[in-house]
Amino acid sequence: MLLGIISALHEEQAGLVEALQGPSTLIHGKREYFLGQLWEIDAVCVLSRIGKVAAAMTATTLVEKFGVTHILFTGVAGAGDASIRVGDIVVAESLVQHDMDASPLFPRFEVPLTGQTHFQPDARLSLRVSSAAHAFLDEDLTHAIAQADREQFGLTQPRVHRGLIASGDLFVHEAVKIDAMNAALPGLVAVEMEGAAVAQVCHELNVPFAVIRAISDNANEHAAHDFMGFVKTVAAQYAFHITRRLCRD
Ligand code: ADE
């Protein structure tokens, strides 16, 4: 197994690069790829930057140039449903590009000429990622994240959800917008800006992948403020400990 790990921002992956054993780096396409071993697993870590094109470019490079056999996307997302709270974790069961709309030529959300609106991650890898998320919440959270930060973000009893993640080139920051997306996309659990692009690339290149996101905000009028606070303070702890559990356990 050679695991490619993608995050959009530095704060979503901080700590993992430092944990790499026998590290080496390679710059390609304006990105720095970090190679090494994470808890005995051969891995390549990289920051995609934000958005679908950036993520697709990065995923394609991981497969075509570095020969990764699996891809994990780890980062943060806005809540896609009122039942999902900041600090909860979502693991994708399915992904859709919410800004794909070539209607009336093709049905809304369908990626033209693929016949697909939704892309499915690898069931086995996603199950392992979910188990790692549960282990993090049950066993690591209280010592990994300072009490003051847990109180600030209301991380009392975070939960793991599985469901639909919608991606698009849009930072969702209006309640009316997220409500409309929730109504249009049954089973929506989170919105972000990369996962479904990685999903399409992995589908087309036949590479198993999983997407895991910590909820940083409610995709409403407070989203930018909440997102910044979460990313600066706790996002890295989520990514580091969940990946550690995934590779080690
Ligand atoms: N990533 C984290 N929060 C987000 C939001 N509200 N919209 C899009 N991507 C996000």
Let me know if residue 110 belongs to a domain: yes
User: In whole angstroms, what is the distance from residue 224 CA to residue 153 CA?
Assistant: 14
* Annotated catalytic residue 64: no
Q: What is the pLDDT of residue 14?
A: 85
Query: Is the residue at 175 inside a domain?
Result: yes
Helices 223-233, 235-248: inter-axial angle, 10-degree rounding: 50
- Tens digits of residue pLDDT in 140-189: 999 999 999 999 998 989 999 999 999 999 999 999 999 999 999 999 99
Q: Is residue 60 part of a domain?
A: no
* Residue 130 in domain: yes
Is 66 part of any domain? no
Q: Is 12 one of the catalytic residues?
A: yes
199 lines ligand 1 (CB under 6 A): no
106 in any annotated domain: yes
Structural domain count, the chain: 1
SS (H, E, C) 142-157: HHHCCHHHHHHCCCCC
Which ligand 1 atom sits nearest the alpha carbon of residue 172? 7
Please, which pLDDT band fits residue 13 given cuts at 50, 70 and 90? confident
In a domain, residue 85? The reply is yes
What's residue 249's pLDDT? 86
Domain that holds residue 92: 74-248
The verdict on residue 168 lying in a domain is: yes
Distance 23 CA to ligand 1 centre (A): 31
Mutation probe of ligand 1 site: the residue of 7, 74, 76 with most atoms within 8 A of C-beta = 76
Q: Which atom of ligand 1 is nearest to the CA of 170?
A: 8
Q: What is the CATH number of the domain that holds 151?
A: 3.40.50.1580
Cβ of 192 closer than 6 Å to ligand 1, yes or no, is: yes
Residue 83 has pLDDT above 90, yes or no: yes
At 178, the amino acid letter reads I
Taking only the tens place, the pLDDT of each residue in 219-249 is 999 999 999 999 999 999 999 999 999 999 8
